[in-house]
């Protein structure tokens, strides 16, 4: 069955580009595209990098998971949810430059901005336009930064921290 992710929001392009921005993420994604892959196999092949990639993929809803029994024990397995993308958006040259700036930030540059946003967001969240204004970012740049991060996300017009699941 072919499942296509429709991308209408230009900021989602940041998440798509960043999902394959390293050889490790590409390799994890390609393995998951081949079919259900248990976490033990991911850990054996890619170590902790696999779980960092899956966390990112889950935020963008690129993967799905299910429980499987392997050697008599339950184990989570993952595979890609989509096998195609349809991009239906238009951008001005200025908007393209803004998004590519976010995509091409070095990890250090991104971490610096991410820390600033996390401090502003706090435990409860904050209105996105206030953050954009304070950091002197456009709304599109801020949306791209939020799409790139696994520490916070949008809830309505607010940016809120992503809480870790408790087992």
Torsion of CA 32, 146, 48, 53, to 10 degrees: 10
What residues contact 134, with CB distance under 8 A and at least 6 apart?
Answer: 120
Domain segments of the chain: what residues? 4-86, 91-161
From the options 3.40.1000, 1.10.10, 1.10.530, 3.40.190, give the CATH code of 91-161.
1.10.10
Q: Does residue 37 carry a pLDDT above 50?
A: yes
CATH topology of 4-86 equal to that of 91-161? Answer: yes
What is the tens place of the pLDDT at every residue in 93-126? 999 999 999 999 999 999 999 999 999 999 999 9
Predicted confidence band of residue 167 (pLDDT cuts 50, 70, 90): very low
* C-alpha angle 89-60-80 in degrees, rounded to nearest 5: 105
Q: Does residue 83 carry a pLDDT above 90?
A: no
User: In Å, how far are 41, 86, 101, 128, 139 from 131, measured between CA atoms?
Assistant: 41, 31, 18, 5, 9
Location of structure tokens 């520490």: 151
Tokens representing 127 are 């209105």
- CATH tag, 4-86: 1.10.10.10
Q: What are phi and psi of 17, to 5 degrees?
A: -65, -40
The pLDDT value recorded for residue 34 is 92
Tell me the pTM: 0.80
């Amino acid at each position: 069955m072919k499942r296509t992710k429709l991308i209408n929001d230009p900021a989602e392009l940041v998440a798509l580009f960043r999902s394959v921005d390293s050889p490790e993420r590409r390799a994890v994604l390609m393995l998951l595209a081949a079919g259900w892959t248990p976490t033990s196999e991911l850990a054996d092949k890619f170590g902790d990098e696999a779980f960092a990639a899956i966390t990112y993929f889950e935020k963008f809803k690129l993967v799905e998971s299910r429980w499987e029994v392997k050697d008599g024990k339950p184990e989570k397995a993952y595979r890609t949810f989509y096998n195609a993308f349809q991009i239906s958006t238009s951008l001005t040259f200025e908007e393209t430059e803004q998004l590519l700036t976010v995509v091409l930030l070095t990890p250090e540059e991104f971490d610096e901005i991410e820390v600033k946003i996390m401090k502003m967001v706090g435990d409860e969240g904050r209105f996105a336009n206030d953050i954009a204004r304070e950091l002197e970012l456009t709304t599109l740049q801020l949306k791209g930064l939020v799409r790139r991060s696994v520490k916070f996300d949008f809830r309505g017009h607010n940016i809120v921290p992503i809480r870790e699941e408790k087992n």
